[in-house]
Structure formats: structure tokens, C-alpha cells
Structure 1
Amino acid sequence: MSARLSSVEEITHQAYDIFLQLAPENLSEQDIQQFNEHHGEYGFIEDSEPDDDWQQFVSLEIEPEHFIQVIIGIEYEDGDEVFARILISRDMDAPFCHVLWKQEKAQLEQ
């Protein structure tokens, strides 16, 4: 039996809703203010196949056709500011979501 998969558009909207719900607990007040101020004009939501580095953050097998990576940020002239990178399952019968927040990324790079 094949998996029942949400469309990329549906799951991208779901990832954005999760971002909006969890951002106050995971981003600084300054980041939230910056996002709220600029997302209408410069904000972006990009979906793609999951990057290979997700395997170091999650313990399940990431099948590219069942998962999508969603990146949420602000695009500036001098570069992008990414607030969250989300791995989310498209499989309606196996929901899964993991978010890497801006602060976590900075901590991992130290």
C-alpha cells in the first residue's frame, strides 16, 4: 500500500503555520520584530528536497519523496536571514516535523 501524501503546497502551508505558532518560544523578540516588519515585502518560504545534514538531527530514515524541507526567512540585498529550517513529513499517516531555529544554527556553528 502506498503512502497518502499531502501536496507540496499543503505541507508548505502547514510548515509555515507551525513556524508562526512556535516562533515566539524559539526566536528572540528582535528576530520576531524583524520578521513581522519585513516578511510582507522581503519574506520567503522555500521548499526543497531535504538536505543531507538532516540525518544528524533526526533518527529516522528520510525518504525524499515522503519529506520536504521548508526554509523561512527574509531576503535582503546583502544576503538572506533564515529564521527556521523545517523538515516535515508529507505522509498523512506518519506525521513528523522537526525545526532548526536560527539560534540553534548559531549554536551548532560555534
Structure 2
Amino acid sequence: MSARLCSVEEVTHQAYEIFQQLAPENLSEQDIEQFNLHHEDYGFIEDSEPDESWQELVALEIEPEHFVQVLVGIEYEDGDEVLAKILISRDIDAPFCHVLWKQSESE
């Protein structure tokens, strides 16, 4: 039986909702303030095939058609600032999400 998969758009939206819910616990107040100030004009949410770095971080076999990598951040003139890198499952029957948060300068 093949997996029942959500669309890439649906899981990208889910990943952004997860970002919004968990950001206050995982990002600095300054990062949240900057994102809130600039997300309308310079914020980005990009989906792509998961990169190879996830395989070392999660104990799952990452099949590219079953997972999406979502980056949430802000575009600046001198480069992008990624606030969260999210791996999320498209499989309706096997939900999974893992977030790598931007590390604060003091860490």
C-alpha cells in the first residue's frame, strides 16, 4: 500500500505554523522582533528536497518524496538569515517534524 501524502504546499504551511508556535521558545527576542518587523517585505519560506545533513540528525530513512525541507528566514541585502530549518513528513499516516533553530550568538 502506498503512503497517503499531503501536498508540498500543505506541509509547507504546516511547517510555518509550527515555526510560529515554537519560535518564542527557541529564538531570541531580537530575532523574533526582526522577523515580525520584516517578514511581510523580506521574509521567506522556501521548500525543497531534504538535504543530506538530515540523515545524521534523525533516526529515519529520509525518502525525498515523503519529506520536505522548509527554511524560514529573512532576506537581507548582504545575505539570508535562516531562523529555522524544518524537516516535515508529507505522509498523513506517519507525521514527523524536526526543527533546527538558529543558534543565539551567546551559544
* Normalised TM-score (structure 1): 0.93
CA distance in 2, matches of 1:9, 1:81: 22
In structure 1, the partner of 2:64 is 64
The answer to whether 1:83 aligns with 2:69 is no
Could you give the per-residue CA deviations for residues 70-102 of structure 1, whole angstroms, max 9, x where no partner exists?
A: 000000111000000000000000000000000
* Uncovered stretches (5+) of structure 1, i.e. residues with no partner: none
In structure 2, the partner of 1:54 is 54
- AA at the equivalent of 2:53: D
Q: How many pairs align?
A: 106
How much does 1:56 deviate?
A: 1.2
Task: Report SS of the residue matched to 1:103.
Answer: coil
In structure 2, the partner of 1:74 is 74
CA distance in 2, matches of 1:56, 1:39: 31
The answer to whether 1:16 aligns with 2:24 is no
* Normalised TM-score (structure 2): 0.96
How much does 1:52 deviate?
A: 0.3
> Which structure has greater helix proportion?
1
Task: Kindly report which structure 2 residues correspond to 1:15-54, keeping only aligned pairs within 5 A, or say none.
Answer: 15-54=15-54
